[in-house]
Structure 1
Amino acid sequence: MFIEAAVFIIGLILLVKGADLFVGGGSGLASRFGIAPALIGFTVVAFGTSLPELVVSANAALTGSPEIATGNIIGSNIANIALVLAICGILHPKMLNPRDPHNSGIGIQIQLMLAATALFCILAWSGTLSSIAGAVFLIAFILILRLLWKKGGADEIRTETKGYLDYLMTAGGIAAVIIGAQLVVNSAVVIATALGVSAFVIGMTLVAVGTSLPELATSVVAIARGQGGLSVGNLLGSNIFNLLFVMGIIALITPVPIDARGDLLAMALFSAAAIPITLAGEKLTRTISAIVLIGYCIYIGVLAGII
């Protein structure tokens, strides 16, 4: 048990560091084309920080643990808003204002994230995601990307580019994420079995929070650097990647059972909290963010059987 816990931690470290390298390299490559920070956050950075969810969930589904895959995706999307965005709202609420010129595009991104969440919940409500659902998710994902790239434009804020090092960072980050994901899934299954906890709950809590660490690190750093658009775009884009791209691919490969309608509703409600967190104004944003964060802690406590 001690060895498995150590392996799980090592896997998480590789996930976080790998995603960090991918984000740094990918953002540097994207900045050469003068893409707006919010759009970089919503696409390149969001994909980088969603790599852990993609690899962990695909690996879990293909190795016979689809409950970890679905729990990871639903739990990660909840954590991205109720944990990461809420923390950003508490630390620097002013940076989340979509009316700031540097945060252009946040409004439409929130709408698209909520639309993706609604689509996922509707198709998952039947209890199984089929290959048809997977195809629908991927088509919707492509349409969203096309819409955003048409709306995106140049911005005076650029992320740093490091020349050819960007390519090495991107490749190294992907490799670290793949290795880390393998370690996380294998050890999580063993831990869940030893503790008598369901794989779904492990996916919703331990694995979900672990794979959301890249989003947390990236968003907090972006907020500290004054790039609210990059921070929020990262979280909203990551949620769309998780629901439409990651689950779309997995559903095409194998049918995905969804037996947690209550958690689907929880994901929809926590996702909707992105609206007041970003639109309420500086003082109210901090208060609302604190309430959402407390609600998340209670929700996790209930799932884990602590409350």
Structure 2
Amino acid sequence: MFIEAALFVVGIILLVKGADLFVGGGSGLASRFGITPSLIGFTVVAFGTSLPEFVVSMNAGLTGNPEIATGNIIGSNIANIALVLAICGLLNPHALNRHDPANKGVKRQALLMLAATALFVAVAWSGTLSAPAGAIFLIAFVLILRTLWKESRIEGTLPILAKGSLDYILTAGGIIAVIIGAQLVVTSAVGIATALGISAFVIGMTIVAIGTSLPELATSAAAILKGEPGISVGNLLGSNIFNLLFVMGIIALIVPIPITETGDLLIMAFFSLAAIPLIYAGERATRVISAIVLFGYFAYIGILAGLI
């Protein structure tokens, strides 16, 4: 267990430092291409921070454990809103304000995230995600990206943050550090939990789901603290859409995915709806709502773990 604990610490360090590099590079890319930081967060950053979910879920699907893939994606999407976005709201409620110039496009992204969630729940309610469902998800994903790209251009509303080719190095290095850090944290946490006798189901829905959401948490918190709210919020909304439409779409094309727990789909939809008041409320209300949502998330985890 000593080795697992040491790897856990190393993973946390990589996550924090990688997130810092990631935010710096992402900010520069936003300025370089003249697009909003929220779209950079929604695409480049969301893709990078969602890679752990993609790798874990794809591996589970290909090894005959599609239920793990589904649990990981649903659990990660819940954590992105109820844990990560709520924490960001507590750290800096003003950063979630849709009127901030850096958050241009966040309103549309939030609505599209809810639409993607509704589509996923409606299709998954049949009990199985097959190849046609995967095709529908991927087509919807492409249409969402196309819509947001057309509306993302900005002209001189944000400071010039580009740092030349260094932006690419920072972004790539940040992605690599975050992914490696997340893998170390998840692997070591599972090892510790197993040694303590925690069930595999609870590990999958809690530790693995939270672990694969750690890149989003580290990157979004770093963006909030560095004054880049657009990257933070866009990252979370984009990650949820990426998880549901791209990751599950790819897996469904390869192998049928049974949906055995429809109750978890409703819980995911409920927590996803919480993104709207968090973005639309005033600063004081945002902090209160963030605390309520965070409490609800810990209560949900407590129920899964059999503690409540």
Q: Same fold (TM over 0.5)?
A: yes
Structure-1 residue corresponding to 2:29: 29
Matched ranges for 1:38-117 at <5 A: 38-117=38-117
3-state DSSP of counterpart to 1:212? helix
Deviations 1:15-58 (A, max 9, x none): 66556655544543343111112222222222222122122222
Compute the RMSD of aligned alpha carbons: 2.8
Alpha-carbon contact 1:71-1:203 (below 8 Å) kept: yes
The Cα shift of 1:175 comes to 4.7
Give the aligned residue type for 1:258: I
Residues 199 and 141 from structure 1, CA distance in 2 versus in 1: closer, same or farther, beyond 3 angstroms? Answer: farther
- TM-score normalised by L of structure 2: 0.86
Alpha-carbon contact 1:19-1:51 (below 8 Å) kept: no
The Cα shift of 1:295 comes to 0.5
3-state DSSP of counterpart to 2:33? coil
Structure-2 residue corresponding to 1:151: 151
Which one is further off, 2-11 or 92-101? 2-11
Residues 50 and 139 from structure 1, CA distance in 2 versus in 1: closer, same or farther, beyond 3 angstroms? Answer: same
Unaligned 5+ residue runs, structure 1?
none
Structure-1 residue corresponding to 2:281: 280
Alpha-carbon contact 1:27-1:159 (below 8 Å) kept: no
Structure-2 residue corresponding to 1:244: 245
Q: Within 2, Cα distance between the matches of 1:296 and 1:133?
A: 29
The Cα shift of 1:171 comes to 4.2
* Runs of 4 or more consecutive aligned structure 1 residues displaced over 6 Å after TM superposition: 184-196
Give the aligned residue type for 2:234: G
The Cα shift of 1:182 comes to 6.1
3-state DSSP of counterpart to 1:167? helix
Give the aligned residue type for 1:71: G
Structure-2 residue corresponding to 1:164: 165
Which one is further off, 18-27 or 107-116? 18-27
Give the aligned residue type for 1:302: I
Count of equivalent residues: 307
Give the aligned residue type for 1:249: I
Alpha-carbon contact 1:129-1:258 (below 8 Å) kept: yes
Which one is further off, 272-281 or 153-162? 153-162
Give the aligned residue type for 1:285: T
3-state DSSP of counterpart to 1:32? helix
Q: Within 2, Cα distance between the matches of 1:159 and 1:53?
A: 33
Deviations 1:66-97 (A, max 9, x none): 33322221111111111111112222222212
3-state DSSP of counterpart to 2:164? coil
Q: Within 2, Cα distance between the matches of 1:16 and 1:59?
A: 26
Which one is further off, 171-180 or 44-53? 171-180
Give the aligned residue type for 2:65: S
Residues 28 and 240 from structure 1, CA distance in 2 versus in 1: closer, same or farther, beyond 3 angstroms? Answer: same
Residues 76 and 170 from structure 1, CA distance in 2 versus in 1: closer, same or farther, beyond 3 angstroms? Answer: same
Unaligned 5+ residue runs, structure 2?
none
Q: Within 1, Cα distance between the matches of 2:25 and 2:77?
A: 24
Matched ranges for 1:107-256 at <5 A: 107-154=107-154, 155-158=156-159, 160-176=161-177, 199-256=200-257
- TM-score normalised by L of structure 1: 0.87
Residues 171 and 220 from structure 1, CA distance in 2 versus in 1: closer, same or farther, beyond 3 angstroms? Answer: closer
The Cα shift of 1:228 comes to 2.5
Q: Within 1, Cα distance between the matches of 2:144 and 2:17?
A: 28
Q: Within 2, Cα distance between the matches of 1:159 and 1:302?
A: 47
Deviations 1:215-249 (A, max 9, x none): 12222222223333222111111111111111111
Give the aligned residue type for 1:129: L
Q: Percent identity?
A: 75
Residues 115 and 183 from structure 1, CA distance in 2 versus in 1: closer, same or farther, beyond 3 angstroms? Answer: same
Give the aligned residue type for 2:147: L
